[in-house]
Copies of this chain bind each other. A is one copy, B any other.
Amino acid sequence: MCKKNIPTNQKQMSFIEKARRAQIVECAIETIAEVGYTQASLGEIAKRAKISKGVISYHFANKEELLEQIAIEYYIAWQSYIAPRIEAQKSPKEMLRVYIESNLAFVAENLQHVFAVIELGSKKITADGKLQFAADHDEAILLPIENILALGVHEGLFREFTKPSARVMALTIRNAIDGFTMELMRKPHLDVQEYTRELVTIFDISTKK
């Protein structure tokens, strides 16, 4: 039905090929999470995957493609996780709560992956226009929040938000989630439930009429 949504460089990939790529991406994520972006060389990734360096080059055109794949898979997984949960809600207030809850749950369940994407994210600025992905991505990630806010305002359930102030709110929520990721990396024993409850409270209060 909604095929061909994906960029196109999908060509035809054998099952085994896809599995191998997935495995390598997996290892790349682990490696970035464990040793940091800077130290995550192809050699290091290969070592952890117990394969030769050449295998990575065999399956990915270059390092950039591998890293992009991390971001792409993240985005797909994220969207499949978040979207249905939000759509299941009726009121904007519930949507916002679920947005926060499901994002934090997603982070907790995919900590390394999310962390890796954040690590990559800041690199986008550097590149010479090549990694526009980052920016588009950010917009795509903010949009759902802005939509919820707009809906809430429209239904008279949220306090008034001008367009720019809705964006500030959206960014603040997004930053809270990404910041939570970093905190969870630093302190794996963090009480996620509690953290979630608190964030929900904060943004519930701060959007209330």
Contacts and interface: CB of A to CB of B under 8 A. Distances in A.
Given A122-B119, A194-B164, A127 B35 contact: yes
A205 interface: yes
A75 to B, nearest CB: 18
A16 B182 CA distance: 39
B123 A36 contact: yes
A54 interface: no
Interface of A is mostly: helix
A124 B36 CA distance: 7
A186 B174 CA distance: 16
Contacts of A138: 186
A143 to B, nearest CB: 15
Interface string A184-209: 01100001001100110111011010
State the oligomeric state as a number of copies: 4
A: interface residue count bin: 35 or more
A56 interface: no
Given A168-B195, A176-B175, A199-B172, A125 B206 contact: no
Given A35-B127, A164-B194, A201-B206, 18 more contacts: A36-B123, A36-B126, A37-B122, A37-B123, A38-B126, A119-B122, A164-B191, A164-B198, A168-B194, A168-B195, A171-B180, A172-B172, A172-B202, A175-B175, A176-B176, A205-B205, A205-B206, A205-B208
Interface of A: 34-39, 118-119, 122-127, 135, 138, 164-165, 168-169, 171-172, 174-176, 178-180, 182-183, 185-186, 191, 194-195, 198-199, 201-203, 205-206, 208
